[in-house]
Every structure is written in structure tokens, then in C-alpha cells.
């Protein structure tokens, strides 16, 4: 679906007909709503991990991205995340020590406030022998707990941010003319995001009855 069709569908959902002038649904407002709501849709699917819905966002899955270690701070290897990173799918690493290199490690996620306890835990801490290491996500980086070994690289699969959309016909906040940038995803995904935009629009507009209509459209993808 291109951006012009997406905007037309949005207008159809927020107005009883296209000649209605009682609701202001400008292009710049639609762009703002869509860019916010598409992130909400992806995050909702990732939180619920429904097998049918997860297929909607396969387009945003970046698989097996090779990331080198950025720095080492005490017992933590820091690996910078890609700029378009949104959420983790899976990760594993290759490590080296004084005796060997190219050792593949399984990585398992922990909470950052637990990281200190894992450093000294002989059963659950980092281990070349058992080929595993804990990590947590923070400060736009993977923080991998290490023990007498160095992380060479990480293979990361992650969900990226969807592309930011735009539509020609208005002047942006920087004084530049807008351009057409189409939404990503199949028509089913885009249509659900448009319904979420309409729901958000009416929440701001104060029309409770039409909020319910848009929720039904999201559920039934109409």
C-alpha cells in the first residue's frame, strides 16, 4: 500500500464521508500518528508473541547481524547495538582466551540489576567450559558478562524500527517540503496501524463512540 492510499483510508475512517469538514485530519497529523502507532503495533506483537500476529512483522526481523565488541569494562564486554534496533530476537557470540579462540557461546538474557551476582556464580555465570554467558541490554548496547575471556564478535538477530513514513503536501517543522515515503509491511499490517491512528485521533478528539469502532476495525482488520 502506498502512502497516498494509506492517507485516503485514514480519512475514510475518521470522516463519515470524504466531503465531511467537521473533523480536521491533516497530512502532518496523520504522519505523526502513523509513525507513533506503527511502533506501538510492533511492540504489542512482540509483547504477546502470538504465532499468527508475529508473521505481520517478519519484514522487520534482521537476522544474524555480525557485531564486533566495542569495549571491555571490568567483567563486561560492551557490544553496540545497531541504530535501528527495536527489540531482541536472539544472540550468540564467539569468544577467545589465552589458550584458544573461536569458541561459540550461547547467550542468555538477564536483568541488569542481577548482573553482579552472575559474575561470581559458578553455576550460572559466564563459562568457556559450558560455552555460555549471560548478558543484559542497556545504554544502546549488549553488556555480556565475561570471565577470563574476550568476546570477538556477536551474531545478533533483532527487530528493527519500521521506516518512518511521510507524505507530500505540507511543510515540516524544519521548514522543508514533505515527500512521499510509503509505509512498510503488507496491507493487513498497514490497515491495522491506520485503524490505530484513527482510534488515537478520536481519543484526542473526544469521540468515545468512534474509539470503539476503530478498536473493532483493528481486531477484525477492516
Q: Which of 68, 78, 82 is nearest to 159 (CA)?
A: 82
- Residue 174: its pLDDT value, please? 87
The Cα 63–Cα 65 span in angstroms is: 6
pLDDT number for residue 214: 47
Determine the Cα angle at 214 with ends 208 and 218, to 5°.
Answer: 145
C-alpha pair distances (Å), 128 with each of 62, 96, 112: 27, 9, 21
Rounded CA separation 9/77 (Å): 48
3-state percent helix, strand, coil for the chain, nearest multiple of 5: 40, 30, 35
Residue 184 cell numbers, joined: 512498510
pLDDT on residue 205:
67
Cα separations (Å) of 116 from 122, 136, 195? 13, 11, 45
pLDDT number for residue 98? 84
pLDDT values of the chain reduced to their tens digit, one per residue, 222 residues: 999 999 999 998 887 544 445 566 889 999 999 999 999 999 999 998 777 788 889 999 999 899 998 898 888 899 999 999 999 999 999 999 888 889 999 999 988 776 666 666 777 789 888 999 999 998 899 999 998 899 999 999 999 999 999 999 999 888 999 999 999 999 999 999 999 999 888 887 655 455 454 455 554 554
Q: Determine phi and psi for 106, rounding to 5 degrees.
A: -80, 135
Residue-level pLDDT at 123: 75
Instruction: State the pLDDT at residue 20.
Output: 47
pTM: 0.82
Q: Tell me how far CA of residue 191 lies from CA of 5, 115, 154, 178, 205, in angstroms.
A: 10, 42, 36, 22, 21
How far lies 32's CA from each of 24, 26, 37, 39, 64, in Å?
Answer: 14, 10, 9, 12, 32
Can you give the pLDDT at residue 37? 96
Q: Is 33 exposed, middle or buried (0-12, 13-18, 19+ CB in 10 A)?
A: buried
Q: Per CATH, is 61-160 categorized as 1.10.15?
A: no
The ranges assigned to domains in the chain are 3-58+162-220, 61-160
Amino acid at each position: 500500500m502506498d502512502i497516498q492510499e494509506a492517507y485516503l483510508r485514514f480519512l475514510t475512517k475518521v470522516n463519515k464521508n470524504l466531503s465531511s469538514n467537521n473533523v480536521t485530519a491533516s497530512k502532518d497529523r496523520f504522519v505523526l500518528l502513523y509513525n507513533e502507532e506503527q511502533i506501538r503495533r510492533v511492540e504489542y506483537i512482540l509483547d504477546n508473541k502470538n504465532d499468527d500476529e508475529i508473521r505481520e512483522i517478519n519484514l522487520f526481523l534482521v537476522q544474524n547481524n555480525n557485531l564486533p565488541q566495542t569495549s571491555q569494562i571490568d567483567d563486561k564486554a560492551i557490544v553496540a547495538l545497531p541504530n535501528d534496533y527495536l527489540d531482541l530476537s536472539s544472540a550468540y557470540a564467539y569468544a577467545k582466551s589465552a589458550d584458544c579462540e573461536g569458541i561459540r557461546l550461547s547467550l542468555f538474557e538477564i536483568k541488569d540489576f542481577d548482573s553482579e551476582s552472575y559474575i561470581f556464580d559458578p553455576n550460572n555465570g559466564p563459562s568457556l567450559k559450558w560455552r555460555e554467558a549471560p548478558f543484559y541490554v542497556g545504554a544502546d548496547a549488549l553488556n555480556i558478562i565475561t570471565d577470563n575471556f574476550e568476546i570477538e564478535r556477536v551474531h545478533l538477530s533483532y527487530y528493527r524500527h519500521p521506516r518512518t513514513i511521510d507524505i507530500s503536501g505540507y511543510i515540516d517543522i524544519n521548514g522543508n517540503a514533505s515527500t512521499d515515503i510509503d509505509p512498510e509491511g503488507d496491507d493487513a499490517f498497514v490497515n491495522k496501524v491506520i485503524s490505530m491512528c484513527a482510534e488515537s485521533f478520536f481519543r484526542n478528539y473526544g469521540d468515545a463512540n468512534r474509539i470503539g469502532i476503530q478498536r473493532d476495525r483493528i481486531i477484525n482488520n477492516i
